[in-house]
């Protein structure tokens, strides 16, 4: 019989004292963003694409990752993630040959590119497809297969070709996942992958983004979030990995070996010196996953290509995707586990032997070991957010901009945001009604037809004009002329977009 153990209650007074001493974290932003102080190119999608992080020209294969995390031995060897739904909130998924259409569902496209029929649902950046490859990919050309190849992946596209996204779009996407987690009874959504960090570090007890992820967690969804790529000296994890009701994942360098004895925390990973440290570690350096030919990162970092179909990337994005796949395997074997229990057994992974992670006691995931554990923790009792905080605190220096005007204040990209009304509706499960979120029509009303995926949520035209004025339409003329051939994007660069931001930190591709 499991022993009940509570994970403690955080003191608002203590946390407030700590928070006042913190240096604000600004997550790196994509090329073409508007500036915030100390912002590095890269974005809020928490990955990097740096040649210095590569251990070999071919990178670390997904088969090697499977071995390193103990997913190919013992009871874990026969697990595929079958029957488990994984929601991927990212930059969309492109229908490259290595993406198994039968395992992909397109949730609503909430990105600015949703207003362009030729770009809708599809990954113009290249980041989301890379994450999908780690989770469910099946590239017959190379044999690269995702760690949970039979999981059902629901893609919600938020980021554009330059990564632009506002935190309110992320909040709306999380709300949608919670509302629709049981749409497919055979593949209920149990895992949410957020390879994303907002630009700010708000107080967790009032942050609206924290409120959204906590609601997902309480609804039975394991929220896996990237810790961020600001380096080991960072004082906090990226938001929302900093929230206690997530699994915040940092990346390890595997040193090009299958042994975990030489693994250590990657130098680019956030390692909080205050408040919450990463919950666990997973391989995230030089991971070879699916490439999107002609995408932004493919054009920008041709040195990251591995043959014709794969691409090397490093970052806590990749580590988060590895962890989401591991969670799917665990839930296939033990479907009654709660998010708290999943977190508990995964934290009891492989001891690190060297480096700062070993000193801090942060372990690397081991799926087979987790299968043999009895969870001792049944309920976390940390303080919950009341969602009363400002959106700008979550945004920090990371803003979407159109016509030279940055989105700010209590506003979504669609208009004013009543935080109190939203938090009540979100808690009640009524923030989404069909394709409308908080009264704003941003998607269609249900499942209809299909694109390259097994099924797709309907699209909709956004009414009104962008907040920057002058424009009469959401459709960016610089998007015209782009087309997807079924294997690649048409030639040309992805620069010159009207939308810019500092969000969706990418991984290092080179």
For 357, the token pair is: 């992670």
Report how far Cα 409 is from the mean position of its chain's Cα atoms.
24
Backbone angles phi, psi at 280, to 5 degrees: -160, 175
Residue numbers annotated as active site: 90, 127, 317
Q: Return the closest-CA partner of residue 505 out of 47, 107, 138, 86.
A: 47
Among the listed residues 94, 209, 224, 110, the one whose alpha carbon sits nearest the alpha carbon of residue 157: 110
Q: Which two tokens stand for residue 139?
A: 């590239």
Question: From the CB of residue 18, how many other CB atoms can be counted at a distance below 10 Å?
Answer: 15
Query: How many Å apart are CA 341 and CA 344, to the nearest integer?
Result: 5
CB under 8 Å to 156, separation ≥6 — which residues? Answer: 87, 88, 89, 90, 107, 108, 109, 110, 173, 176, 177
**147: buried, middle or exposed (CB in 10 Å: 19+, 13-18, 0-12)?**
buried
Q: Helix axis angle, 316-333 relative to 339-347, nearest 10°?
A: 110
Exposure string for 19-47, b = 16+ CB within 10 A, e = fewer: beeeeebbbbbbbbbbebeebeebbbbbb
Alpha carbon 174 to chain centroid, angstroms: 11
Place of tokens 């007074």: 13
Instruction: Mention every residue, 6+ apart, whose C-beta is less than 8 A from residue 143.
Output: 63
Distance CA 389, CA 395 (A): 11
Residues 6 or more apart whose CB falls under 8 angstroms from that of 493 comprise 299
Full DSSP string of 150-217: TSEEEEEE---TT----HHHHHHHHHHHHHTTTSSGGG-EEEEEE-B--S----TTT-HHHHHHHHHH
Instruction: Tell me the C-alpha distance between 350 and 279, whole Å.
Output: 13
Q: Is 294 helix (H, G, I), strand (E, B) or coil?
A: coil
């Amino acid at each position: 019989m499991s022993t009940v153990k509570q994970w403690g209650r955080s003191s608002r007074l203590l946390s407030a004292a700590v928070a006042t001493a913190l240096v604000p974290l600004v997550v790196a932003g994509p090329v073409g963003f508007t500036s915030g102080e100390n912002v590095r190119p890269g974005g809020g999608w928490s990955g990097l694409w740096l040649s210095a992080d590569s251990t070999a020209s071919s990178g670390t294969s997904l088969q090697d990752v499977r071995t390193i995390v103990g997913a190919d031995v013992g009871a874990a060897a026969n697990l595929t993630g079958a029957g488990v739904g994984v929601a991927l909130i990212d930059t969309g998924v492109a229908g490259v040959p290595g993406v198994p259409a039968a395992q992909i569902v397109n949730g609503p496209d909430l990105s600015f590119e949703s207003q362009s029929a030729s770009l809708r649902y599809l990954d113009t950046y290249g980041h989301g497809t890379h994450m999908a490859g780690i989770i469910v990919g099946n590239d017959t050309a190379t044999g690269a297969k995702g760690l949970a190849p039979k999981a059902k992946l629901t893609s919600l596209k938020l980021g554009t070709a330059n990564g632009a996204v506002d935190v309110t779009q992320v909040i709306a996407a999380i709300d949608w996942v919670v509302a629709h987690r049981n749409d497919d009874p055979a593949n209920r959504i149990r895992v949410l992958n957020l390879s994303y960090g907002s630009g700010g570090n708000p107080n967790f007890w009032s942050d609206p983004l924290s409120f959204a992820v906590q609601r997902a967690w309480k609804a039975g969804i394991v929220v896996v979030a990237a810790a961020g790529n600001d380096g080991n000296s960072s004082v906090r994890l990226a938001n929302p990995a900093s929230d206690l009701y997530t699994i915040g994942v940092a990346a390890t360098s595997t040193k090009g070996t299958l042994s975990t004895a030489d693994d250590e925390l990657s130098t680019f990973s956030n390692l909080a010196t205050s408040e919450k440290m990463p919950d666990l570690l997973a391989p995230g350096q030089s991971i070879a996953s699916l490439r999107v030919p002609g995408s932004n990162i493919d054009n920008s970092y041709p040195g990251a290509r591995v043959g014709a179909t794969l691409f090397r990337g490093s970052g806590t994005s990749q580590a988060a995707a590895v962890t989401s796949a591991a969670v799917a395997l665990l839930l296939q074997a033990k479907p009654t586990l709660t998010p708290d229990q999943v977190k508990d057994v995964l934290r009891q992974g492989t001891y690190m032997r060297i480096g700062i992670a070993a000193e801090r006691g942060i372990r690397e995931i081991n799926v087979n070991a987790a299968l043999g554990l009895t969870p001792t923790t049944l309920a976390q009792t940390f303080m919950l957010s009341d969602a009363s905080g400002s959106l700008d605190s979550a945004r920090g220096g990371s803003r979407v901009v159109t016509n030279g005007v940055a989105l700010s204040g209590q506003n979504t990209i669609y208009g004013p945001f009543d935080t109190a009304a939203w938090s009540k509706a979100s808690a009640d499960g009524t923030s989404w009604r069909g394709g409308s979120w908080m009264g704003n029509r941003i998607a269609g009303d249900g499942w209809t037809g299909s694109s390259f995926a097994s099924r797709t949520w309907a699209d909709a035209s956004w009414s009104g004009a962008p907040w920057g004025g002058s424009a009469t339409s959401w459709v960016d003329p610089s998007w015209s002329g782009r087309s997807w051939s079924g294997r690649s994007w048409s030639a040309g660069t992805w620069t010159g977009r009207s939308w810019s931001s500092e969000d969706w930190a990418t991984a290092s591709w080179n």
